[in-house]
Structure 1
Amino acid sequence: MESNYDRRSELKAFDESKAGVKGIVDAGVEKIPRIFIHEQNMQYNVNVSDSSCDSKFSIPIIDFKGIDKDVTLRDNIVNKVRDACENWGIFQVVNHGVEVTVLDEIIDRIRGFHEQDLEVKKEFYTRDFSRSFIYNTNFYFYQAPAANWRDTIYCSMAPSPPNPAELPEICRDTMTDYSNEVMKLGLAISELLSEALGLKPNHLKDMGCVEGLSLLGHYYPACPEPDLTMGLTKHSDATFFTILLQDQIGGLQVLYENQWVDVIPIPGSLVVNVGDMMQVTSLQ
């Protein structure tokens, strides 16, 4: 049976359905397709502590309130950012300036896209990265050892915003509003990172580090065999930094001192993950 298994054909058939992982769930499957089984990752997880519920660690939480009004307070926040980046590479931000209504709306609209009628979604399903808006399952679907149990939408929002007519109606306006707010926050974070490196506030901005913005919306359908697959495998981001918005279900974890630590969702908060390019830049 092993020798007769044609993985490539199974990947192709799944991709051509354009139904995504959500389509599998809607079909009522009780066993997940073999392409989603993570044998190597399941073996890896046995060797790393997964007792995050009992962990003595928690990721840093930084309050941005008053960041531009008090020099002493700002210096304190810069120190916290420096410490979080050096020791964790990730931190959670509260009082960041993005309205909760904007955060709630983008979550609602992205979920709405993934849960709308399949025939409407199909027109956006593609692996052509020249398209303004992309919906598919896993970017490296054909290259990865196993597929992740998630569907994703992707759109480059800056420096060249897409034509609104090319975006799905259900999330068109919300994507633009959210992106505008996140760009402002991204600039503020770049200033803090610059200062944490002992540089002028505009250093990273002048390098062009905050000109681009890509918006990704992951959707993780309920899985009938969750122990056999993963929604997102362990990885590091290649960006300068990523601003993450979780719904209240959570599920995000960070590896710290050989232990997976839960990033507990805080209503209205955002998570900042320092990327590989930021690490390289800080060494120069």
Structure 2
Amino acid sequence: MSSPVATAVSAAAPYDRAKALKEFDETRVGVKGLVDSGIKAVPPIFVHPPETLAELKRGSESESAPEIPTVDLAAMQESRAAVVEQVRQAASTVGFFQVINHGVPEQVLRRTLAAVKAFHEQPAEARVPVYRREVGKVSYLSNVDLFQSKAASWRDTIQMRMGPIAVDHSEIPEVCREEVVEWDKEVVRVSRVLYELLSEGLGLGAERFREMGLGEGRVMVGHYYPFCPQPDLTVGLNSHADPGALTVLLQDHIGGLQVETPQGWIHVKPQPQALVINIGDFLQIISNETYKSAHHRVLANHCNEARVSIAVFLNPSDRERLFGPLPELTSTKKPALYRNFTLHEFMIRFSKKELDGKSLTNFFRQ
């Protein structure tokens, strides 16, 4: 006769990850809902594999570690060529840099972060109606790759398409509507300047990227990283490379963003009023690998205060046009490293993978 303990063990249902994911998603209140419930331990769906956690521990923690470059756009008044060179150097090495004196008023930066934070910190019943996974609409969700990733990340997101055809502004939650629309205008202005500098850094005309419409497709995401009770077991955002051309990021003072460099993982330390800029896979490809996209990640938030960041992903607007390494940047000495593709094919490929690795650039390599 079996013992009561053995019977209980054999009767215990095995852990059903698919069921747990579905149940979490159906709460429609995200990670913030878990935190509000008073949870003291990270649920199994958020626990990352040992190899991922080991890699996190190898990240640079030294205060003397190198930092990503900072570019002062006001210096263009004295020497535009010097600023072009700074941008070119950053884009062709680490693929990340911060810009200061970009012309966005400090109160706009503060107001935008506060508005996105206010959305995520509304009562659950105010967030639930916006929770959805449909592409193209205003959507509040937890983990865009929730059902594809090996483990979920400790964050929630509101995402909005801002171009080439923006979502109806009435669909943007009122608590952040005015600020989101205003922020999109600022990003358009700043990105025009950045694209000119990046284009000149390749020896092209200042208008080359603008003529390609590289800033017309825009998706804005407002990430919210609440306090994590066990930050050593999960991440805020998996290591990944952005698929688009350029990303403009506004982050608050909490920190946690890291970028992979030849020297190892380094912190992207928050600077007051700075914007973080990074090269995406698309720009790496059309520059024929002169510019580099980089792996980056966000650590789980161990602070009692939530971390907020707002990224705008910039892409071409024409999804059927053929793109590839620009002819001006290829030669017999440096042939095209990638094949041509449409943006539609490019983004379909991205949507089929989880947020890790650099399979996009690998997939299109010749």
TM-score range, shorter chain: over 0.9
CA positional deviation for 1:3: 7.8
Instruction: Work out whether residues 186 and 210 of structure 1, in 8 Å CA contact, stay in contact via their aligned partners in 2.
Output: yes
Instruction: Work out whether residues 142 and 156 of structure 2, in 8 Å CA contact, stay in contact via their aligned partners in 1.
Output: yes
Instruction: Work out whether residues 55 and 261 of structure 1, in 8 Å CA contact, stay in contact via their aligned partners in 2.
Output: no
> Deviations 1:121-153 (Å, cap 9, x if unpaired)?
00000011142x110001110010000000001
Instruction: Work out whether residues 137 and 152 of structure 1, in 8 Å CA contact, stay in contact via their aligned partners in 2.
Output: yes
For the residues of structure 2 that align with 1:126 and 1:210, how far apart are their CA atoms?
26
Selected match of 1:179 from 172, 179, 184: 184
1:131-170 equivalences in 2 (<5 Å): 131=137, 133-170=138-175
Give yes or no for the alignment of 1:63 onto 2:72.
yes
TM-score if structure 1 supplies the norm length?
A: 0.94
Selected match of 2:94 from 71, 78, 88: 88
For the residues of structure 1 that align with 2:197 and 2:225, how far apart are their CA atoms?
33
Give yes or no for the alignment of 1:247 onto 2:252.
yes
For residue 84 of structure 2, what is the aligned residue in structure 1? 78
For the residues of structure 2 that align with 1:53 and 1:119, how far apart are their CA atoms?
43
Alignment: residue pair count: 278
Task: In structure 1, give the amino acid aligned to 2:207.
Answer: N
For the residues of structure 1 that align with 2:44 and 2:177, how far apart are their CA atoms?
35
For residue 297 of structure 2, what is the aligned residue in structure 1? none
Instruction: Work out whether residues 52 and 259 of structure 1, in 8 Å CA contact, stay in contact via their aligned partners in 2.
Output: no
For the residues of structure 2 that align with 1:234 and 1:223, how far apart are their CA atoms?
18
Task: In structure 2, give the amino acid aligned to 1:83.
Answer: Q
Stretches of structure 1 that go unaligned for 5 or more consecutive residues are: none
Selected match of 1:276 from 272, 275, 281: 281
Give yes or no for the alignment of 1:191 onto 2:201.
no
For the residues of structure 2 that align with 1:196 and 1:130, how far apart are their CA atoms?
33
For the residues of structure 2 that align with 1:191 and 1:257, how far apart are their CA atoms?
27
Instruction: Work out whether residues 127 and 134 of structure 1, in 8 Å CA contact, stay in contact via their aligned partners in 2.
Output: yes
Instruction: Work out whether residues 60 and 267 of structure 2, in 8 Å CA contact, stay in contact via their aligned partners in 1.
Output: no
Task: In structure 2, give the amino acid aligned to 1:159.
Answer: P
Task: In structure 2, give the amino acid aligned to 1:90.
Answer: F
CA positional deviation for 1:191: 0.5
For residue 128 of structure 1, what is the aligned residue in structure 2? 134
Task: In structure 2, give the amino acid aligned to 1:75.
Answer: A
Task: In structure 1, give the amino acid aligned to 2:181.
Answer: T
For the residues of structure 2 that align with 1:23 and 1:104, how far apart are their CA atoms?
25
Give yes or no for the alignment of 1:17 onto 2:23.
no
Q: Secondary structure at the match of 2:277?
A: strand
> Deviations 1:206-226 (Å, cap 9, x if unpaired)?
111111111110000101111
Give yes or no for the alignment of 1:53 onto 2:53.
no
Task: In structure 2, give the amino acid aligned to 1:104.
Answer: R
What's the C-alpha RMSD, in Å, of the aligned pairs?
A: 1.5
CA positional deviation for 1:52: 2.8
For residue 116 of structure 2, what is the aligned residue in structure 1? 110
For the residues of structure 2 that align with 1:248 and 1:263, how far apart are their CA atoms?
11
Determine which structure has more spread, i.e. the larger CA radius of gyration.
2
TM-score if structure 2 supplies the norm length?
A: 0.74
Stretches of structure 2 that go unaligned for 5 or more consecutive residues are: 1-8, 289-324, 326-366
